[in-house]
Amino acid sequence: MMKTKITKTVLVLFVALFTSSCISKKNYANRVKSWQGSNVNNLISSWGPPIDVYTMPNGNIMYTWLYTSDGYVTTRYNEWLDQIEQRKESYYCKTTFTADQNDLVVNWRFQGNACVSFK
């Protein structure tokens, strides 16, 4: 009976975490998308200096930001040994904006498991 209750609790927490993760990734996409059409200098003032700048053959410029972090994720609980097993997990988010010759953001993209925003 106790094991069933724990299983249900874990399932509910997993669904809640998965749902909030989807929402926060969508929020991040909206946050990044909101810069489209803005002056890239305002973006740099807000986000800080990019880690990479690349000039494309057509004259557009790609600006890239990278966030990285390490953490520990609980993988399971061993009730016989009364131990929590964990593994190290790396998180990152690479975000790139493309600005045209008029310094306006015309494109964006991001990738990674830490591209989230709760706003």
pTM over 0.75: no
- Residue 94 inside a domain? The answer is yes
Cross-strand partners of 83? 78
Total domains in the fold of the chain: 1
Residue 8 CA, distance from chain mean position: 28
Cross-strand partners of 74? 86
Residues 6 or more apart whose Cβ sits within 8 Å of residue 30: 117
Backbone φ, ψ for residue 33 (5° rounding)? -60, -30
- Residue 75 inside a domain? The answer is yes
Strand order in the sheet with 61-78: 52-55, 61-78, 83-99, 105-111
83-99 and 52-55 beta bridge pairing: unpaired
- Residue 15 inside a domain? The answer is yes
Q: Which domain holds residue 72?
A: 2-111
- Residue 42 inside a domain? The answer is yes
How would you write the pLDDT of the chain (119 residues) with one tens digit per residue?
444 444 444 333 443 444 444 568 899 999 999 999 999 999 999 999 999 999 999 999 999 999 999 887 777 888 888 888 888 889 999 999 999 999 999 999 999 999 998 66
- Residue 25 inside a domain? The answer is yes
